[in-house]
Structure 1
Amino acid sequence: MTTTQDPSETRPDPALRAISLVVVLGTVMTMLDATIVNVAINVLGRDLGVSLSTVQWTVTGYTLALSMTIPITGWAIGRFGAKSTWITSLALFGAGSVLCGAAWSAGALIAFRVLQGVGGGLLMPVAQTLLTRAAGPERMGRTMAVISIPSMLAPVLGPLLGGVLVDHLSWRWMFYVNVPVCALALLLAVRLLPREERRADSRLDALGLALLSPGLAALVYGLSQTGEASGGSRALAGLVFGVVLTAAFCAHSLRRGERALLDVALFRDRGLAASAAALFCYSVGVFGVLLLVPLYSQSVPGTGVLDAGLLIAPMGAGAIVTMPLAGRLTDRLGAHLPGIAGIVTVLAGIFACARVDMSAGASPLAAALFVIGLGHGLVTPSIMAAAYRTLPRSVLPGAATASQIVIRVGTALGAAVITVILQTLTRGSDGPQAAAFEGSLLWATAIVAVALVPALLIPRRQAAP
Structure 2
Amino acid sequence: MTYRYRIALIFLIGFFIDCINIFMSAIALPDIARELQVSESSITWVANGYILGITLVIPVSNWLSSLFGARLTIMASMLIFSFGAFFSGISDHLSLLVLSRIIQGLGGGLLIPVGQALTLNLFKKHERARISTLVMTVALIAPAISPSTGGAIVDHFSWRWVFLSNIPLSLAVAVLALLWIRPEKIIVRRPDLKGLLLISLSVATLLLGLSLYADSAAKHIPLGLVMLGIFCAQLYWKHYRNKQDPILDLSMLNNSRMRLSVMVYHAVPGVFTGVNLLSIFYLQRVLGWSAGQSGLLMVLYAVAAFFAILTCGRLYNRTGAMPLFFTGIVLHAAGIALLSLVGQAHLSSLLLLVAAYLLMGAGGGVVANTAQTTAMLDFEDESLARASTIWNLNRQLSLSIGAAVFTFIFNLLQQQTTTTSAYHITFLIAAALGLLPLLRLSQLSRHQESPCSPEGN
Give the TM-score range, shorter chain: 0.7 to 0.9
What is the aligned counterpart of 1:340 among 311, 322, 326?
326
Match of 1:409 in 2: 397
Match of 2:296 in 1: 310
Change (3 A) 1:69 1:343: same
Deviations 1:69-116 (A, max 9, x none): 121122223333333322221121123223444557665544433321
Instruction: Give runs of aligned pairs for residues 11-50 of structure 1, distance below 5 A.
Output: 14-41=2-29, 44=32
Instruction: Give runs of aligned pairs for residues 64-463 of structure 1, distance below 5 A.
Output: 64-103=52-91, 108-200=96-188, 202-228=189-215, 230=217, 232-257=219-244, 259-298=245-284, 301-356=287-342, 359=345, 360-433=348-421, 436-458=422-444, 459-463=448-452
Q: Which amino acid aligns with 2:306?
A: I
Q: Which amino acid aligns with 2:364?
A: H
Q: Which amino acid aligns with 1:272?
A: M
| CA distance in 2 between partners of 1:78 and 1:410 (Å) | 27
How far 1:252 moved relative to its partner? 0.9
Aligned-residue CA RMSD (Å): 3.0
| Contact 1:312 1:366 (C-alpha < 8 Å) held by counterparts | no
How far 1:248 moved relative to its partner? 0.9
How far 1:156 moved relative to its partner? 4.7
| CA distance in 2 between partners of 1:107 and 1:431 (Å) | 27
| CA distance in 2 between partners of 1:299 and 1:100 (Å) | 24
| Contact 1:141 1:329 (C-alpha < 8 Å) held by counterparts | no
SS in 2 for 1:256: coil
| Contact 2:52 2:400 (C-alpha < 8 Å) held by counterparts | no
Question: Which moved further from structure 2: 299-308 or 77-86?
Answer: 299-308
Q: Which amino acid aligns with 1:351?
A: A
How far 1:46 moved relative to its partner? 7.2
Question: Tell me, which stretches of 5 or more residues in structure 1 are unaligned?
Answer: 1-12
Q: Which amino acid aligns with 1:246?
A: A
| Contact 1:275 1:387 (C-alpha < 8 Å) held by counterparts | yes
| CA distance in 1 between partners of 2:37 and 2:414 (Å) | 30
Change (3 A) 1:185 1:351: same
How far 1:255 moved relative to its partner? 1.1
How far 1:203 moved relative to its partner? 0.8
Provide TM-score, normalisation by structure 1.
0.85
Q: Which amino acid aligns with 2:211?
A: S
| Contact 1:137 1:388 (C-alpha < 8 Å) held by counterparts | no
| Contact 1:163 1:306 (C-alpha < 8 Å) held by counterparts | yes
Quick one: percent identity of the two aligned structures? 27
| CA distance in 2 between partners of 1:57 and 1:449 (Å) | 27
Question: Which moved further from structure 2: 227-236 or 158-167?
Answer: 227-236
Question: Which moved further from structure 2: 238-247 or 304-313?
Answer: 304-313
How far 1:427 moved relative to its partner? 4.2
| CA distance in 2 between partners of 1:86 and 1:231 (Å) | 43
Question: Which moved further from structure 2: 369-378 or 230-239?
Answer: 230-239
| Contact 2:30 2:281 (C-alpha < 8 Å) held by counterparts | no
Provide TM-score, normalisation by structure 2.
0.87
How far 1:337 moved relative to its partner? 3.0
| CA distance in 2 between partners of 1:378 and 1:464 (Å) | 22
Q: Which amino acid aligns with 1:394?
A: E
| Contact 1:284 1:448 (C-alpha < 8 Å) held by counterparts | no
| Contact 2:270 2:400 (C-alpha < 8 Å) held by counterparts | yes
| CA distance in 2 between partners of 1:414 and 1:159 (Å) | 18
For these two proteins, the number of residue pairs brought into alignment is 448
Match of 1:3 in 2: none
Q: Which amino acid aligns with 2:333?
A: L
Change (3 A) 1:244 1:204: same
Q: Which amino acid aligns with 2:100?
A: F
| CA distance in 2 between partners of 1:114 and 1:141 (Å) | 32
Q: Which amino acid aligns with 1:271?
A: R
Deviations 1:357-413 (A, max 9, x none): 552231232122112211211110111211111123211222122122223333333
| CA distance in 2 between partners of 1:86 and 1:421 (Å) | 37
| CA distance in 2 between partners of 1:158 and 1:374 (Å) | 19
| CA distance in 2 between partners of 1:31 and 1:324 (Å) | 19
| CA distance in 1 between partners of 2:276 and 2:312 (Å) | 22
How far 1:174 moved relative to its partner? 2.2
| Contact 2:154 2:162 (C-alpha < 8 Å) held by counterparts | yes
| CA distance in 1 between partners of 2:384 and 2:375 (Å) | 9
Question: Tell me, which stretches of 5 or more residues in structure 2 are unaligned?
Answer: none
| CA distance in 2 between partners of 1:55 and 1:446 (Å) | 26
Question: Which moved further from structure 2: 164-173 or 234-243?
Answer: 164-173
| Contact 2:269 2:398 (C-alpha < 8 Å) held by counterparts | yes
Deviations 1:4-26 (A, max 9, x none): xxxxxxxxx84443233222222
Q: Which amino acid aligns with 1:287?
A: T
| CA distance in 2 between partners of 1:220 and 1:46 (Å) | 23
